[in-house]
Structure 1
Amino acid sequence: MTQEVVEPNPALTGPQAAATRETLEDYTLRFAPRSYRKWGPGVVSISALGGIAYLADFAIGANIGIANGTGNALWGILFFAVVIVLTGYPLAYYAARYNIDLDLITRGSGFGYYGSVLTNVIFASFTFIFFALEGSIMAQGLKLGLGIPLWLGYLVSSVLVIPLVIYGMNTLAKLQVWTTPLWLVMMVLPFLYLLISHPSAVGDFLSYSGGIDAKGGQGVSFAGTMLAAGVCLSLIAQIAEQIDYLRFMPPKTPENNRRWWAAVLTAGPGWVFFGAIKQVVGLFLAVYLILNFADQAGVANQPVEQFLAIYEDFMPHWLALTLAVILVVISQIKINVTNAYSGSLAWTNSFTRVTKTYPGRLVFLVFNVAIAIVLMEADMFSFLNNLLNFYANCGIAWIATVASDIAINKFLLKLSPKQPEFRRGMLYSVNPVGFGSVVIAGGLSIMTYFHVFGDAIQPYSPIVALVLAVVLPPIFAVATKGKYYLRRTDDGIDLPMLDENGNPSDARLMCCVTGIEFERPDMIASAKPGPNGEKQYISSLALSCDKTGEHVLPEQK
């Protein structure tokens, strides 16, 4: 696929010029235009699912099983999967249908133009936490296979990703499509061999009660299940990374209707089925190591050690080690290009909105990777469960709030505008519906996690976050009568926003600031008339960088 290259007006300088270099910026602050979205539903779906090749699921499954036993881990994983599907579907649909990322969806789903900066920081935190986790796993593989010290492995695994992310979706799609078949073969076939050659391992797995000595003696309990689910639910923000791909879906038409829906459901909330399976397999392999290789019990939660043990069962050590390292490197590159890419988008969105200055996505690509390196050097793998449990409360509060606003406030109560709005001037700065819900749900669930309300309720902090995030948005929407969703209902443009099939229109208008034509959903009338008093139009991109505010339309009375 080729990408449309749009060059900025030569007269432009500063943030507007930087932001219009779409070859590198990859539609960071805006709607993804139809002229760029040339991939079919299948390619977008495979590219999005390529990002879940990560091995962190194996480590997460192993950790929650060792801590809580197989029974609690399996129920926790099931709870996690159900929550992900229910909250992920409305978000994935909106992204694919309207071709906007989750930050733009969040703005119009109860947060306001500046209010969603809070959730952008939550998402950016997700990307560097999991970048660090995946990089740690890759560094473990490099140490085992090549003898590279961990500190150097952290650096290599991080810097290696930067060149691959520079050119955005165009390069990432190719990387994900071409590496996925090899990844599947190297991961699935050895596991199937283990099941066939060691059938007793299944019974051992199901009866495992926790602990690296297999003497945990923990039965299934609701508290144990919720502790396991809390760690898994730290992955709830993964839907935002899926959406960074889904926003490039082609228009939905009668001809591609089935393929379109299949791609959205599979690559959207459907990612969790693959993730849940990997978590179960990760625990299975950890139990296999604990019960059969006493000397490796301490590293049973490390994916590279898990796959090395399987490979060694039917091939020489040198070949097993080589393949295990190759698998780890491929898996971690596939996910960390997505973590780095999505993180750069999130930081850039927040910084530009607050400062009206656009330093370029590449600046924040390096910034996000640098934070991840610091986490890796701090040995985050040793306190993984606590870190993920804490983060889960923030992630759940955000994702569940947006899903609640879409499903309940937009479709049931009809208090929230059904068509998403993200443009400056059309939204209030802060909407208490979503912003207030996240602050309360996230705040109370974090307090619960830190035992503020007692030890008995502490394991249920994910439930606190989830219930409050679902219930509060409709309560706030009814209390405010939906007043703070839209600052204006008229964007000053007479052309329809959608085409005959309900897709964003591809009609073009000239931006008075950049001198570039943008598609209709990206445009808004300027408050500043032209030289002869004529109406002018400005892109959401240029409007984001308007420090004077002279182009921002006044509030509609």
Structure 2
Amino acid sequence: MFSAMFWLYVASASADAVGVPNTVIGMGLSVVTYGIINQVLARYAARTGLSVESLSRKMFGTVGSVLAPLVFAATALYFGVFEGSIVAVALQDDFGGDLRIWYLVCVVYMIPLVIGGVATWLDKINGILLPFYVVGLVAVVVGATIKRGYPSGWLDSVSTTGPLPGWMTSFLIYMGVWVMMMYTFDYARLGKPRDAKFHGTVTFGWVFYLFTFGANGLIGIYLLSSWGIAGSETGVVEAVINSLGIAGVLLILVSQTRINTANYYLASSNLQVLADRAFGRVTPRAVWVLVAGVLTYLFMLTDVLGYLLTALAWQGVLVTAWVAIALVHIALRQRDHEEVATRMMGGGAVAWLLASAVGIAATVQTAYPVVSQLAPIITVVLAAGSYWLARTSRLRGRSLPLPDQDSLNTDNSPIHDEPQSV
């Protein structure tokens, strides 16, 4: 996750919109926010062994247990499309040829890396490639400085005016990728409970985001400032290749291979959950890796960069609502001793769908720009508040408490064939 080129892009895009000082403040607030929330989610997931799907079933009933993996799988696929497209553009830029062929190459070479278990391929390939990415980041900064000189004043760019303070706009941009918290939950459940505190602080916490958002973001801003390129999806590719030449292509290949192992794994595992729910039987995850690859390629053939951010904005509303509700659920777990939900759709699902509908409506409306920008915060407040009301009203109406199913860990097995402890 650390090596996604998306982090270089989103920081430079934010800097173009609100200036570097405001972006740095937004990054810092995001590091703190992500660190706090992911510490709660990571420790809870490691202790209970619950996945996104099984926690959603507790919170929302049958509807939620299907909708949550669907949203998660779609978001992981979109990120896989974005990161794979970056590699394809880089290869075409250096070697020429039909971009559709490079799209196919980028999909085909990923499938063998993810078709095995997470402990077999994901850990090994990412462990091997991480040092190359770190060295590559240093090299690309040095290369840009040698070729272009130090870009004086790159930290002092003037921000544009808007309905909200620039730092808040930057913070809201980073709220659009709260899906990282779903990634955290599905991976943290594989950890050992005794390591939960470490994982909550380092692996998934503020330490991780200090480097992922902070280091990557500043490098992205520096790079594009050095070359005078606007923050865009392909601008990062151009800046890296201009700085390092063929070595830049290799850096992009390494970084995107790392991130797409996570994207393909989580997309396939959540597609598998959906299929198992639909067919009533366990299906091999290898099949869904292939399906994820086919879907990724088909999305690549469309004008993906034209609608990607809009699609992610809609999905981001659903994700932020899920995160807010998950936090309330965890906070109430000592008081709410409710069994795993078996209803088709309960109060939790209504709270999620209501908050998401309001958030999407706020996002797409154009009459009040400030409301559109504040849509993530509106969604979080509405989701948390409505879910809290739904659950506490049930508590007040209950005379006999039921056993704490969270502590009994009835859903502690990870998705099918994956190990619980790595």
Both structures adopt the same fold (TM-score exceeding 0.5): yes
Cα offset, 1:268, TM superposition: 1.8
Residue correspondence of structure 1 range 134-533 to structure 2 within 5 A: 134-170=83-119, 171-191=121-141, 201=151, 203-209=153-159, 218-219=160-161, 222=164, 224-252=166-194, 260-270=196-206, 271-277=208-214, 278-290=216-228, 297=230, 302-309=235-242, 311=243, 320-407=244-331, 409-411=332-334, 414-416=335-337, 426-430=340-344, 432-451=346-365, 454-481=368-395, 489=403
Contact 1:54 1:331 in 2 (8 A): yes
**CA distance in 1 between partners of 2:213 and 2:341 (Å):** 38
Map 1:104-143 → 2, pairs under 5 A: 104-108=54-58, 110-143=59-92
Cα deviation for residue 446 of structure 1 reads 0.5
Output the CA distance in 2 between the equivalents of 1:176 and 1:432: 40
CA RMSD of aligned residues (A): 3.3
Deviation at 1:453, TM superposition (A): 6.8
Per the TM alignment, residue 440 of structure 1 is displaced from its structure 2 partner at its CA by 1.4
Q: Give the Cα–Cα distance (whole angstroms) in 2 for the partners of residues 541 and 301 of structure 1.
A: 38
1-side partners of 2:45 and 2:38: how far apart?
A: 11
Provide the secondary structure at the position in 2 that maps to 1:206: coil
Q: Which residue in 2 is equivalent to 1:102?
A: 52
Q: Distance in 1 between matches of 2:401 and 2:102?
A: 50
Output the CA distance in 1 between the equivalents of 2:47 and 2:82: 32
What's the offset of the Cα at 1:131?
Answer: 0.4
| Unpaired runs of at least 5, structure 2 | 418-422
Q: CA deviation at 1:114?
A: 4.3
Matches of 1:436 and 1:184, distance apart in 2: 44
- Give the Cα–Cα distance (whole angstroms) in 2 for the partners of residues 244 and 433 of structure 1: 24
Q: 1:280 to 1:430 in 2, by over 3 A?
A: farther
In the alignment, what sits opposite 1:516?
none
Q: Deviations over 1:142-175 (max 9, x none)?
A: 1122224322221211121111111121221111
**Is the contact made by 2:241 and 2:248 (CA closer than 8 Å) also made in structure 1?**
yes
Separation (CA, whole Å) in 2 of partners of 1:289 and 1:175 = 32
Query: What's the offset of the Cα at 1:189?
Result: 4.2
How far apart are residue 430 of structure 1 and its match? Answer: 4.3
For the Cα contact (< 8 Å) 1:72–1:221, is it kept in 2? no
Instruction: Give 1:535's aligned residue.
Output: none
Deviation sequence 1:264-297 (CA, Å, 0-9, x none): 322223433233122333233222222xxxxx55
Partners of 2:157 and 2:366 in 1: how far apart? 35
Could you say which structure has the greater relative contact order, defined with CA pairs below 8 angstroms and 6 or more residues apart?
Answer: 2
Asked if the contact 2:163/2:369 (under 8 Å) is kept, the reply is no
Aligned to 1:19: none
CA contact (8 A) 1:87 1:400 kept: no
Separation (CA, whole Å) in 1 of partners of 2:3 and 2:415: 34
**Structure 2 counterpart SS, 1:264:** helix
Post-superposition Cα deviations, 1:12-61, rounded to whole Å, max 9, x if no partner, equal xxxxxxxxxxxxxxxxxxxxxxxxxxxxxxxxxxxxxxx33111111222
- TM-superposed CA distance for 1:202, in Å, is 5.4
The 1:59/1:416 distance shift into structure 2, 3 A limit, reads farther
SS at match of 1:203: coil
Alpha carbons 1:231, 1:385 under 8 Å: kept: no
Against the structure 1 CA distance between its residues 77 and 380, is the aligned structure 2 distance closer, same or farther, given a 3 Å change threshold?
farther
TM-score by length of 2: 0.85
Query: Who wins on radius of gyration, i.e. which is larger?
Result: 1
Counterpart contact for 2:76–2:263, Cα < 8 Å: yes
Structure 1 alignment gaps of length 5 or more: 1-50, 210-217, 291-295, 312-319, 492-496, 499-503, 505-519, 524-538, 543-557
The more displaced of 276-285 and 333-342 is 276-285
Q: Report deviation, 1:79.
A: 4.1
User: Structure 1 pair 71/466, CA: closer, same or farther in 2 (3 Å)?
Assistant: farther
Aligned 8 A contact 1:137 1:304 in 2: yes
Letter in 2 for 1:261: K
Residues 290-321 of structure 1: CA distance to partner in whole angstroms, max 9, x if unpaired?
2xxxxx55868532222223x3xxxxxxxx32
Q: Residues 122 and 195 from structure 1, CA distance in 2 versus in 1: closer, same or farther, beyond 3 angstroms?
A: same
Tell me how far apart the structure 1 counterparts of residues 305 and 328 of structure 2 sit (CA, whole Å).
33
- Equivalent residues of 1:143, 1:153 under 8 A apart: yes
Whether the aligned pair in 1 keeps the contact of 2:15 and 2:221 (CA below 8 Å) is yes
Q: What letter matches 2:386 in structure 1?
A: L
Residue type matched to 2:292 in 1?
N
Residue 323 of structure 1 deviates from its aligned partner by: 0.8
Counterparts in 2 of 1:521 and 1:222: CA distance versus 1, 3 Å:
closer
**Which secondary structure state, in structure 1, belongs to the residue aligned with residue 369 of structure 2?**
coil
Alpha-carbon distance between aligned partners in 2 of 1:195 and 1:470, rounded to the nearest angstrom = 47
* Partners of 1:400 and 1:375 in 2: CA distance: 30
SS state at 1:222 partner:
coil
Question: Partners of 1:249 and 1:134 in 2: how far apart?
Answer: 27
SS in 1 for 2:4: coil
Aligned pairs, number: 412
Partners of 1:490 and 1:478 lie apart in 2 by: 16
| Matching residue's letter, 1:95 | A
How big is the shift at 1:451?
A: 1.0
More helix by share: 2
